[in-house]
Structure 1
Amino acid sequence: MAMTATETARQPAPKTKRVPFWDNARWVAVTLVIMGHATLKLISASDVAYAFYLFVYTFQVPVLVLVSGYFAKADPPNGRQLKRLLTDVVIPYLIFQTIWIVIQWAVEPGHPFKLDYTSARWTLWFLIALAIWRLVLPYLAMLKFPFLISVLVSFVSGYASSADDTLSLARVAALLPFFVLGWELRRRSHYARWWIAARGAVVWPVRAVAAALLVTAGVTMYFGIDAWRDLLVRRFLLFDEEYSSFGYDQWWAGFVRLLVIALALVMTCAVLVLVPRRHTFFTEWGSATMYIYLLHTFFLYPIRESGWLEDHSNVPVLAGMVALSIAVSVLLSQPFIRKVFHPLVEPRVKWLFHQRRAPA
């Protein structure tokens, strides 16, 4: 018997099939982010740690932002999408910002208790940025050259003193090209589909080139570490400051950012090329990215603030922090973590919204 139009409308929408490549990329990206955060306190006294830190920072955040952009929608947001933005991004930000305000007030001597939600604590800037990028994308998508415009925004923002840590505006503007590029990849999905479906005869030579490129970059970071320190390359890689705030008040400072963006895009592509395309032992962990991102800081904070890392800055400790980063990422990917922390990371707040009645 044929279904009526009403019955058809009531049928649940078919679930979108998850692509292993993107879940793998999510988990790899967030694990790289943890590595960068875990090794920061080692860089002041160790050239190896500093080189590793710069190497990871050339692509860790760009990979995460690009993958996030790939899953963004450029259609004008409807009521359901706006609710998702609130429940998936805004409310978790408010929850974790409050937690970190209390922790820093209680633990750090002299830290005032101030409920400030405009300056994100530590890693929470990404949630603010994600919310703004999602809201801005439909407007960018209306334009003819959204990626080039996003690069121009990033270029110009480094000259603006108003682009600071208020609502993470400096990073929102500076990293916008990677988010837009991720969306462009989805829009021109034949590129991504070609890579995911490509045969081994094509894949392995490309991966060999990508691996060689990453090795070359790592070696260059190490042997040129004194130059990179003097040039303050790290400050450019953070994408969070006006150029003049760290001594680059020349007219050409923005072109350095363009070079950094170009390097980050090349490195990001190399990393994504090496991500497995098939289902792996960590594919399922890719769906827990938000849990990993929001919770890993609670493991690193005591270690970072203890001062122990600065006093033990050597290669074995660096290796140990990298191993710890992977272990933390694996732990936070587990189902029981979701069960315990679901109210914080994915809060159910139906009570906050009007419940619309279905038409009779």
Structure 2
Amino acid sequence: MPSTLRECGGAARRVERVTETKPRVRVPFWDNARFACIVLVVMGHAIQRQTADSDNALTLYLFIYAFHMPAFAIVSGFFSKATPPGLRQMRRVVTDILLPYLIMQTIWSLVQWLVEGKNVFNPTEPHWTLWFLLALAIFRIVLPYLALLRWPLVWAVAFSVTIGYFANVDSTFSLSRAIGILPFFVLGWRLRHWGLVDRWRRLGTGAVWGARVAAIGVFAAWLAVVALNVQAFRAFDLRYWFFYDDSYQALGEPTWWAGLLRLGLIALAVLLSAAFFVLVPRRRTFFTTFGQATMYVYLLHSFVLYPIRESGVLRDDHSSAVWLLTMVFASLAISVALSSPWVRKVFRPLIEPKPRWLLAHADDDPPTASRTDPTGSRRR
């Protein structure tokens, strides 16, 4: 057999080995994890303005940002396929990711024009939270190629660490940030292949509670590290390192060891994400159904927070511990409200557009009850 054919055959077998199928039975654990992740996202954005004047706010902010988006990427990766995309999957990148991105980007540009007088529409520079949609599109495109390589997770980590040395790779189309958090997405996909989550769901009660005690210890240790070093972390601008966005030069550390720091932060995020998932309830809870609307919360909460953040009300005296707790509980309330059925009904044309007029052969892809959103949550 010619070498080219052998290589093609080997690649096909490797793709076949990493082929996954999405679960037919809904697993409450993942909906619980999605909702917990989105609450942390909203919370981090809600308290961001308070971090300038409050060490307590900065402590909570750094505690959250060390792992909340990596955990979200892990969940999204778990429900992603590494097989070459078919016509249906390619269309969904357009309808589920790119089209909602363009819609929300346009709305944000209009809002900023009306409120701030910014007369700029630039689809290459995502507004605020919209970067993650573009990152998901990049992940979907890249994953089948990574799956053809040996040690795809190692390659993803190498890309994440190395990209920081290139100052010319920036936030255009969210490229730098997407590559920065790529290891977590790939890790989520590999977790599905390894079956670790299934084994965790079948674990006995005693072992589960032992793991949860250890997870609480991990979180307590990280919280203590942040609280004791918050002034040093403020001076170092550690929070920008958790964005996985800027180059090391832009972060003020254009030295050879900057990549080792990012590698350490990746390891920290994996450890904290593992602790987070261990603490997520495995059974159905009162907030399980809220986890089916994470894209609504993610794309709409910024409009709720925008007037609060930009008004300056969260500065000075309003950065006190009382106001910090107020914003924490407000974040939970916002997440619950935006997960409600009426919000999904009203905003579905924006979040879940169905532009059959836009697509060629759209009738070949009829809507089904099992359709999922970009994070893997089954839509209702």
- 1:267 pairs with 269, 272, 275, which one? 272
Once the two structures are superposed, the pairs formed by residues 226-265 of structure 1 within 5 Å of their partners are 226-265=231-270
Structure 1: how far apart are the matches of 2:270 and 2:310?
Answer: 32
SS in 2 for 1:100: helix
Residue in 2 that maps onto 1:170: 176
Once the two structures are superposed, the pairs formed by residues 26-65 of structure 1 within 5 Å of their partners are 26-65=34-73
Structure 2: how far apart are the matches of 1:114 and 1:323?
Answer: 34
- 1:107 pairs with 93, 104, 115, which one? 115
Verify: 1:218 aligned to 2:226, yes or no: no
Structure 2: how far apart are the matches of 1:166 and 1:41?
Answer: 24
Residue in 1 that maps onto 2:16: none
Compute the displacement of 1:219 (Å). Answer: 1.9
SS in 2 for 1:282: coil
- 2:346 pairs with 335, 340, 348, which one? 340
Compute the displacement of 1:15 (Å). Answer: 8.0
Residue in 2 that maps onto 1:318: 324
Q: Which amino acid is 2:216 matched to?
A: A
Using the size of structure 1 for normalisation, the TM-score is: 0.93
Gap change, CA 1:213 and 1:121, over 3 Å in 2: same
Tell me whether 217-226 or 254-263 shows the greater mean CA deviation: 217-226
Residue in 2 that maps onto 1:75: 83
Residue in 1 that maps onto 2:194: 188
Q: Is the 8 A contact 2:356 2:362 kept in 1?
A: no
Q: Which amino acid is 2:183 matched to?
A: P
Deviations 1:295-350 (A, max 9, x none): 00011000000001013111011101110110000001111111100000001111
Residue in 2 that maps onto 1:4: none
Q: Is the 8 A contact 2:101 2:134 kept in 1?
A: yes
Structure 2: how far apart are the matches of 1:332 and 1:246?
Answer: 35
- 2:282 pairs with 277, 282, 297, which one? 277
Which ranges of 4 or more aligned residues in structure 1 deviate by more than 3 Å? none
Instruction: Please list every run of 5 or more consecutive structure 1 residues that lacks an aligned counterpart in the other structure.
Output: 1-13
Compute the displacement of 1:215 (Å). Answer: 1.4
Residue in 2 that maps onto 1:299: 304
Structure 2: how far apart are the matches of 1:313 and 1:354?
Answer: 53
Q: Which amino acid is 1:320 matched to?
A: T
Structure 2: how far apart are the matches of 1:223 and 1:349?
Answer: 52
Compute the displacement of 1:355 (Å). Answer: 2.9
Q: Is the 8 A contact 2:240 2:251 kept in 1?
A: yes
Compute the displacement of 1:89 (Å). Answer: 0.6
SS in 2 for 1:99: helix
Aligned length: 343
Structure 2: how far apart are the matches of 1:333 and 1:125?
Answer: 21
What is the identity percentage for the equivalent residue pairs of Structure 1 and Structure 2? 47
Residue in 1 that maps onto 2:129: 123
Verify: 1:157 aligned to 2:163, yes or no: yes
Compute the displacement of 1:114 (Å). Answer: 2.1
Q: Which amino acid is 2:314 matched to?
A: L
Q: Which amino acid is 1:289 matched to?
A: T
Instruction: Please list every run of 5 or more consecutive structure 2 residues that lacks an aligned counterpart in the other structure.
Output: 1-21, 365-380
Q: Which amino acid is 2:329 matched to?
A: A
Structure 2: how far apart are the matches of 1:277 and 1:134?
Answer: 27
Q: Which amino acid is 1:170 matched to?
A: S
Compute the displacement of 1:85 (Å). Answer: 1.2
Structure 2: how far apart are the matches of 1:333 and 1:299?
Answer: 14
Residue in 2 that maps onto 1:11: none
Compute the displacement of 1:357 (Å). Answer: 7.1
Using the size of structure 2 for normalisation, the TM-score is: 0.88
Structure 2: how far apart are the matches of 1:258 and 1:330?
Answer: 35
Structure 2: how far apart are the matches of 1:354 and 1:250?
Answer: 50
Q: Which amino acid is 2:212 matched to?
A: R
Structure 1: how far apart are the matches of 2:23 and 2:276?
Answer: 29
Structure 2: how far apart are the matches of 1:316 and 1:212?
Answer: 26
SS in 2 for 1:43: helix
Residue in 2 that maps onto 1:147: 153
Q: Is the 8 A contact 2:241 2:251 kept in 1?
A: no
Gap change, CA 1:20 and 1:308, over 3 Å in 2: same
Residue in 1 that maps onto 2:375: none
Structure 2: how far apart are the matches of 1:104 and 1:355?
Answer: 37
SS in 2 for 1:163: coil
Q: Which amino acid is 1:76 matched to?
A: P
